[in-house]
Chain A
Amino acid sequence: MKQVDVTKAAVAVLLAISLAGCVTSRVEDAREGLTGIEEGESIVIMAKSYHLGNETEEKYINCIEKALGNGSKGLRVIPHREFVDSLFPWFEPRTAPAETKNLPKLMERPGVAEKIAQQGIRYIIWLDGDTERVAGGGSLSCAAGPGGGGCFGFAWWQNDADYNASVWDLDGLESAGTVSTDVSGTSFLPALVVPIPLIARTQSKACKSLAGQLRAFIINEETA
C-alpha cells in the first residue's frame, strides 16, 4: 500500500516538474564596501518611491522579506510597513532619501537615529524593478455546447523580471553595493480539449535568486 503512495507521489512530482515552463536567470552583485551583520542587527526591505516611477510589487517585497528571514541563516527582517510607520514621515514615497548623501541630515532629525537604533537596523535595502509581460502569441479558443465543451489551440507568453537591490549600510551611512537579478520565463498553454498550463514562475524565481544573493552579500560569505 505504501509503495503505491510513493509511486503516486513520484508521478505527481515528475508531472509538476514537466509542467513548468522555461526559465533562465542571471544574478550578479557589485560590492562597494565590506559587509557583515552582528547578532541583534536587522535589515529592512523597501521599494524605491513610486514618485520616481518605480513599480516594484508589494508581493515581491513580501517574498524577499520572507526568503531572507527564513532558514538556518535567516536574517532579522523588520517588516517594511512597520519601519515606515515608526519613522513617519521620513520614509514616505515623497520624503524617503533617494541617495546615501541624504542620510546624515536625515539621522540628525529628532528621534530618527534613536528609532533606527532601537530596531537594530544595520542595512536598508532599496528594491526597484518589476515583472512585465514582454511578448506573447498563439491562439486558443474554447467552446461549450449541450454535449460538453473543450478548448483547442496553443498560446504562449514571456515574462521578464528585472530587479535591482541597493544596499545601504547605516553604520557608515554609505552604500555597500548592489545586487541585481534578471529572469526571463516563457509559459505555454497547449489545449487539446483540456488546456494544460505550463507556467514559468518568473517572479518567484527572481525572488529566490535575489534573496539568496542578498543574504550572501550581507553576511559576506566570501570572507566569513
Chain B
Amino acid sequence: MTNTARKALTGLVLAGLIAGCSSNVTLQAPAIPVPLTERIPVSVGLRMPADFYSFVHQEEVYGREEWSIDLGNSNAKFFTQLFGHMFRDLKVLEDGDDPQSFDIDALIEPSIDAFEFSVPNQSKTNSFAVWIRYRLKVYDRGGTLVSNWPVSAYGKSQTKSISNSDALQRAAVLAMRDAAALMIMKFDDVTKISSLAGQPTPVAAPVAVPSTGDSEDDGVQVTGVEGRDDETG
C-alpha cells in the first residue's frame, strides 16, 4: 500500500470516527395551523434579527457526542405565519426599513433568549426535550418600548418509534407550537397591543433603541412568562 493510499484510508477511518460522535439535525419550519381565534385588530410590523434566518445551535453533550441543530429560517417562517394568523395586518420589515415609514400601529421584535435540549442519556428517559425562550419586544408607533415579554416553551418527543434525529426535530416543532399556543392565548392580555390601534404618531417622539438591559431600567411593562396548565379551561 502506498503512502498516499495509507493516508487516505487513515483519513477515512478518522472521518468515520468523528462522524460517529456527532449528530446533525436540520429542522423544517413547522406549519402553524390557522388558529380558531379572532384576530387582534391591530396592524403590526415584524422586525426579525439576522439569526432568525440562519440559526444553528451546537452543543456537546458532556463526554458523549456533539449535536448540531440547524433551525435555518424556521424561526422567521414561524413568526411570519403565526403573526399573519394573529393580527389584522402584518408587514414584515426588511433590514434597514424604517418602521415609522409604514402605516402600522405597533412594531414587534422577537428574539431568542435561549435554546436548550436534553437527550435520552441525560434525562434517563426515552425522550428528547427542547426548551426555547423567545423574547418579544413591542414598540408603539412612536418607537417607545411598551412591552418586553419572555415566552418559554417546551416540547418533548419519544424516541422508541422514530429515529433520534426525527425525535429531536419533533420535540423542537412541539416547542414552537407550544410557544405559538401561548402567544395566541396571552399576547393581548400581556402586552395590551390592541390598545395601540389607531393611536396618533407622537410629534418628535424619540425612536427607541432596543435595550438589552434589565427591563425595569427601561421603565416598561414586564409581565411574567407563560401560563400554567390551567390556563385553558
Closest partner residue, chain A, to B129 (CB atom): A50
A94 neighbours in B (Cβ, 8 Å) = 178, 181-182, 226-227, 229, 231-232
CA of A98 to CA of B233 in the docked complex: distance in angstroms? Answer: 8
B35 near A106: Cβ-Cβ < 8 Å: no
B32 neighbours in A (Cβ, 8 Å) = 88
Q: A88-B33, A98-B230 are contacts. A55–B158 as well, Cβ < 8 Å?
A: yes
B154 near A51: Cβ-Cβ < 8 Å: yes
Cβ contacts A86-119/B at 8 Å (1 or 0 each): 1111101111111000100110011110010000
Q: A85-B33, A109-B36, A112-B36 are contacts. A57–B229 as well, Cβ < 8 Å?
A: no
CA of A171 to CA of B174 in the docked complex: distance in angstroms? Answer: 30
Q: A89-B35, A94-B178, A110-B37 are contacts. A51–B229 as well, Cβ < 8 Å?
A: yes
B34 neighbours in A (Cβ, 8 Å) = 88
Closest partner residue, chain B, to A97 (CB atom): B232
B232 neighbours in A (Cβ, 8 Å) = 90, 94-97, 102, 106
Q: Which of B38, B154, B232 has the most CB of A within 10 A?
A: B232
Q: A88-B33, A89-B185, A95-B185 are contacts. A110–B38 as well, Cβ < 8 Å?
A: yes
The yes or no answer to B75 lying at the interface (CB within 8 A) is no
Size bracket, chain A contacts = 20 to 34
Within 8 A of A (CB), among B99-156: 125-127, 154, 156
Q: How far is the CB of A8 from chain B (nearest CB, A)?
A: 33
Q: A87-B36, A94-B182 are contacts. A105–B233 as well, Cβ < 8 Å?
A: yes
B227 neighbours in A (Cβ, 8 Å) = 94
The yes or no answer to A49 lying at the interface (CB within 8 A) is yes
Q: How far is the CB of B229 from chain A (nearest CB, A)?
A: 5
Pair count A-B, CB < 8 A:
75
Which of A62, A86, A98, A112 contacts B229 (CB under 8 A)?
A98
The yes or no answer to A144 lying at the interface (CB within 8 A) is no
B156 near A59: Cβ-Cβ < 8 Å: no
A57 near B161: Cβ-Cβ < 8 Å: yes
Closest partner residue, chain B, to A52 (CB atom): B229
B37 neighbours in A (Cβ, 8 Å) = 89, 109-110
Cβ contacts A20-52/B at 8 Å (1 or 0 each): 000000000000000000000000000001111
CA of A106 to CA of B37 in the docked complex: distance in angstroms? Answer: 12
Q: How far is the CB of B187 from chain A (nearest CB, A)?
A: 12
The yes or no answer to B184 lying at the interface (CB within 8 A) is yes
Q: How far is the CB of A44 from chain B (nearest CB, A)?
A: 16
B229 near A49: Cβ-Cβ < 8 Å: yes
The yes or no answer to B180 lying at the interface (CB within 8 A) is yes
Closest 10 CB pairs of A and B: A59-B161, A89-B181, A88-B33, A111-B36, A92-B181, A102-B233, A95-B232, A85-B33, A50-B156, A89-B184
Write the residues of chain A forming the contact surface with B, with a CB cutoff of 8 angstroms.
49-52, 55, 57-59, 62, 85-90, 92-98, 102, 105-106, 109-112, 115
